[in-house]
Amino acid sequence: MDSNKFPEKCYDPRDPTLRFVDGEDDLDFLCEGFKSPRALMSCGHAVTPMSLTKWCDTLLKQGKSRFVCGQPNCNVEWSFKEVCKMALLTPEEKKYFKEILALNYFRENIETKPCPGCTSSVVRAKGSNLLVCCTVCTATRRQPYDFCWQCLREWKGPRTRSDRCDNDGCCNLSLETLKTCPDVVISGVAGCPSIRACPTCGSLLEHTKLHCNNVVCPRCSVEFCFVCLETSDECDMDCLCAVAPRQTSIPVWKRK
């Protein structure tokens, strides 16, 4: 659906399940003055169905998989059920929100992949290992079942290889992209790869604002310099950054 064309929605002032207030809409950041009465969320902030719908849509576009209030000093998470009710989501909007939530959740939990032998979800013990053992298949077959995290096929070749297995076509597409992407000029600095892996979580990002060094990763929300790969706090913007070499490995996100 076109998320820029959400239908106008208003609360029924006679709805006894809502707590109405006369205050401002805490989520109406653009001062659009939505027509609906304001009602309180579980966190105590006032919303209208339109402001809540647009705020949640903004979170989804940022790659979030949870609906959080986001007001100063308020990080209360709203359930999907509460959002559906308070945003007066239509069936089409519910379907849209569910699909994007699922996609964002998968991206956030990319450490999990389906086993090619039984399709069960597997989490690898170490983020750098390509050879992964499926405990389900191992128990079923009564012998170790290892598969390649990279090509998602049963492992072939030496168990000590770290870049690929011996299956035809097994290669790290992300590393190939980092290796072969063209150079661009960013803020007057030439020779910068046009695609970088986020130094925090490893997501591949292409920088389009060539007049600005910094980017914010939509997956981990960390801001870093596309030229030197330092975080914005560590990068010395008063001096001309030195271009960091092309990356030869994908950083693994170590969540706190």
- Please name the residues in contact with 122: beta carbons below 8 A apart, sequence gap of 6 or more: 112, 113, 114, 115, 132, 134
Confidence of residue 134 (pLDDT cuts 50, 70, 90): very high
- The pLDDT confidence band at residue 193, using thresholds 50, 70 and 90, is very high
Ranking 49-63, 92-106, 235-249 by mean pLDDT, the lowest is 235-249
Q: Strands, DSSP E only, in 23-140? A: 38-40, 46-47, 67-68, 77-78, 112-114, 121-123, 131-133
Mean pLDDT for 141-149 is 94
Q: What stretch of H or E contains 136?
A: helix 135-141
Residue 255: band (very low, low, confident or very high) from pLDDT cuts 50, 70, 90: low
d(CA 134, CA 115): 7
Confidence of residue 106 (pLDDT cuts 50, 70, 90): low
pTM: 0.49
Label residue 238 by pLDDT band (50, 70, 90): low
Amino acid present at 3: S
**pLDDT given at position 235:** 81
How is domain 3-108 classified at the architecture level of CATH? 2-Layer Sandwich (3.30)
Angle of helix 91-108 relative to helix 49-61, nearest 10 degrees, comes to 30
Token pair of 213, please?
């060094």
Q: How far apart are CA 95 and CA 118, in angstroms?
A: 29
Break the chain into its structural domains and give their ranges. 3-108, 110-171, 172-256
